[in-house]
Structure 1
Amino acid sequence: MIPPLPDHMLRQLGRTEGDSETLRVLVRDQDTHRLLLLRALLDAAEAAPTAICPPRALDRLRQDWALLETAERTDRTAVRAVLLHPLIGPWAQRCLRGLSATGPGPGPELRADLNHLSALAAAAAIRAGIPFTTRLTAHDGLLSLPTLGALRTPSEEIDITFYEGEMTMYQGVSEPPLSAHTQPDGTTGSADPRWLPVFALPAVQSGTGPVPLDDVDPYRTDGSGLQPHGLSAATHIDDHERKAWAESWAGVTPLLAIGGEHRLTEAAVLLRCLVPLGPPPGSGPVGESAAHCSGTRREAFGAVLSSKPATPAYFASTLVHELQHTKLSALSALVPLHHEGPEPRHFAPWRSDPRPFDGLLQGAYSHIALADYWQRFALAARRVTHRDLAWAEHARCREQVGAVLPVLAGSAALTREGRVLVNEMITLYHRLDDCPPPTGHLARAEAYVATAKVIWQQRNGSHRP
């Protein structure tokens, strides 16, 4: 039996690397899961009792699906850009949960979720250049077309037509229609302030697409549990904030390159959109604090949620950090890495609460990548202040990983693939010793982790350190 991932690829990933061929294996698997999820959604609607999915709603879903199929026959690549958009995942999962729920009938949330398939089909048809006319439903004053943008509207029902690159939305007699010129790449131009296009940042590498900064999709943080993880809420950004994001982004590519060609490759292959978050709670006025928060979502493969990093260097390190989570989650979906239970009982120096084994592995994986990145940054830095900052970050991350590697390596529940992965992490950890940080940074990092462990034990004494 041929393994889903050859060992040489697994070893690359264990070193937090991965060439484009290796990463595309993960991408193909995730894309297949997404397409199966969408098909499962339609099947669930067909199988649902009429009390959950009434005939009228089912007829609409079938019409939307037919438009998707027509668009895909015309331009498969354009349609897949919509279907595989990261934020379609949370929406599809939410629909499936609603369709499988028990109760007297569909609530307003499920109706709104199912209506969103019409907007998805319309966006796909627009990208494919298929002329159509349909009626869409807005919610909470916003009609979102995935990957394209959103219309601010007081109306609930919106008639939309598309013909030869021109999209027109009719909102009833009380509101003038909106026209927007749409390109196949998803860019939309309209002088009407009611239209909120998805802003796009330039591509990480030539030959790849731009990176959407999606602040209008209604499902961008749905079910993500932001607050319990110290993340702020999603936010809409104005022109001034877009400019600030773009300025910070402009410096990211050369800084990623400092971390090695693999850092550019993983960003180019894995990053499909950014979701802007507000500043972390308690961080002070916008723009006056270096405080930052970021995260990923397993069901939104390719999306990184982030507040605006204070500097391009922190922007680059955020991508390094979060794309390791993206990478490891995709790998875990392809091959099982361990059979440990889900109970939270392990000490992790980057968290105050006990972590399950899988969370410990995820955290160690992302932090060892950061330790490697900041070491390379420190060795390349010309300014003393930049070098000191990088050594401090490197020393802290490396010491944090060193505190948990014995737990990972000592697990008897690692699969063969998990053992290969952890062994490569250990190899990378020891390779970092070739260029140790200055003594002062190392001492402070050791004290930081030792203190974190004492505090953790005081809070969670009944758990395993």
Structure 2
Amino acid sequence: AGVDLRVRLGPRGGYLSLPTLGAVRADTGPVELQCHGGELTVRPADGAPFTVRVQQDGATSSADPRWVPLVMLPAVVPGAGPVALDDLDPYRTRGDGAETHGLGGAAQIDDWERKAWIESWSGVEPLLRLGGEHRLTEATVLLRCMVPLGPPPGSGPTGRSAAHCSGTRREAFGAVLSSKPATPAYFASTLVHELQHTKLSALCALVPLHHEDATPRHFAPWRPDPRPFDGLLQGAYSHLALADYWQRFALHARRVAHRDQAWAEHARCRQQVGAVLPVLAGSAALTPEGRTVVNEMITLYHRLEDSPPPTGHLARAEAYVTTAKVIWQQRNDSRRQ
């Protein structure tokens, strides 16, 4: 933020982590930090002070071995800032109920995994561009930090859950939490999905969109549990963006396999959104601003019909949503009894 500071902090597990910047190796504490003019002076309790240079784009450098910099993913587009891959902060998923939300725990990645992240990241830019220049702009402007997660609970050869998970934190604007995406295409779609939550959360912090309560009562085809109205709005907003992204991907994909996969993802997301839009539109608790957002979502939803998916994909997506609702009703009816 470019703000001068002077603070004393205690290390944890031999490190004092500074989210999105790096960490100080320190066995005892506290550590005094003073930042002025882009230079961070570190005064550990058990050693001589040293300095860390903090550039405007967030990259750091220091000749002192006690400083552990973060891996920096290259800029999404030339001229933009790099994106931190923060696997050092010990508190990065603390208190968020990760398992409750189907997320994996915090993961510290090794050299092989870093290479896999960087390799997948290198293919993101052209795939985001396939989804429209606005998707590339969103990632360039909004994304500041990727936080690696482990695979979701229950995943693996004998698990029941998905092999990938991702999320955002309302109090950590610009950060996306994610397990390692399997392909650049899914990396790009993860960014599309999560940055919608980032945008809508920022909007909600500026102006209320509804006055519904927080009771989890609504069916959402992308979740097994009942959702509060706000969660339904967030999920529909992000899945609508995914439906738009995958449709554009399908229309521009050159390989038949890629096109087929994209149509399947588009059809599923579109049907999921279509199942909940009537609930959002029918709410009497929407504010004028919230009504504007929902009306624009409905407009985009109908615009997607101009390029429908192949019939087979649409039929499978309809069956998927119908089955999800039946299972949801059975599960939640049994819980009420």
Residue in 1 aligned with 2:219? 347
Residue in 2 aligned with 1:104? none
- SS of residue matched to 1:232: coil
- SS of residue matched to 1:212: strand
| Alpha-carbon spacing, 1:160–1:337, altered in 2? closer, same or farther (3 Å) | closer
Q: CA deviation at 1:158?
A: 4.3
Structure 1 Cα separation of the partners of residues 248 and 138 of structure 2: 17
Query: In the alignment, is the contact (CA less than 8 A) between 1:148 and 1:187 conserved in 2?
Result: yes
What is the Cα-based RMSD across aligned positions, in Å?
Answer: 2.7
Residue in 1 aligned with 2:10? 137
Residue in 2 aligned with 1:184? 55
Q: 1:252 aligns with which of 93, 103, 124?
A: 124
Matched, 1:79 2:13: no
| Alpha-carbon spacing, 1:414–1:243, altered in 2? closer, same or farther (3 Å) | same
Query: In the alignment, is the contact (CA less than 8 A) between 1:378 and 1:386 conserved in 2?
Result: yes
Correspondence 1:5-154 to 2 at 5 A = 78-79=2-3, 121=6, 136-154=9-27
**Paired residues, number:** 330
Range 368-377 or range 157-166, more displaced: 157-166
Higher helix share: 1
Structure 2 Cα separation of the partners of residues 422 and 463 of structure 1: 31
**Superposed CA offset, 1:255-307 (max 9, x none):** 1111111101111111121111112223338xxx9811000111111111111
Partner amino acid, structure 2, of 1:453: K
Structure 2 Cα separation of the partners of residues 168 and 418 of structure 1: 46
**Superposed CA offset, 1:312-335 (max 9, x none):** 100000000001111111111111
| Alpha-carbon spacing, 1:149–1:398, altered in 2? closer, same or farther (3 Å) | same
Structure 2 Cα separation of the partners of residues 162 and 304 of structure 1: 26
Q: CA deviation at 1:394?
A: 0.3
Q: CA deviation at 1:157?
A: 3.9
Structure 2 Cα separation of the partners of residues 149 and 167 of structure 1: 14
Residue in 2 aligned with 1:235? 107
Partner amino acid, structure 1, of 2:265: E
Query: In the alignment, is the contact (CA less than 8 A) between 2:148 and 2:178 conserved in 1?
Result: yes
Compare CA radii of gyration and give the structure with the larger one. Answer: 1
Q: 1:155 aligns with which of 4, 16, 28?
A: 28
Query: In the alignment, is the contact (CA less than 8 A) between 2:148 and 2:179 conserved in 1?
Result: yes
Q: CA deviation at 1:155?
A: 2.4
| Alpha-carbon spacing, 1:290–1:184, altered in 2? closer, same or farther (3 Å) | same
Q: CA deviation at 1:403?
A: 0.6
User: What percentage of residue pairs aligned between the two structures are identical?
Assistant: 72
Matched, 1:397 2:321: no
Q: TM-score, normalised by structure 2?
A: 0.89
Residue in 2 aligned with 1:12? none
| Alpha-carbon spacing, 1:414–1:440, altered in 2? closer, same or farther (3 Å) | same
Q: 1:409 aligns with which of 274, 278, 281?
A: 281
Gaps of 5+ in 2: none
Structure 2 Cα separation of the partners of residues 397 and 170 of structure 1: 51
Structure 2 Cα separation of the partners of residues 427 and 168 of structure 1: 53
Partner amino acid, structure 1, of 2:55: P
Matched, 1:447 2:319: yes
Gaps of 5+ in 1: 1-76, 81-119, 123-134
Structure 2 Cα separation of the partners of residues 342 and 368 of structure 1: 22
Query: In the alignment, is the contact (CA less than 8 A) between 1:325 and 1:362 conserved in 2?
Result: yes
Range 421-430 or range 455-464, more displaced: 455-464
Structure 2 Cα separation of the partners of residues 228 and 365 of structure 1: 21
Structure 1 Cα separation of the partners of residues 98 and 170 of structure 2: 14
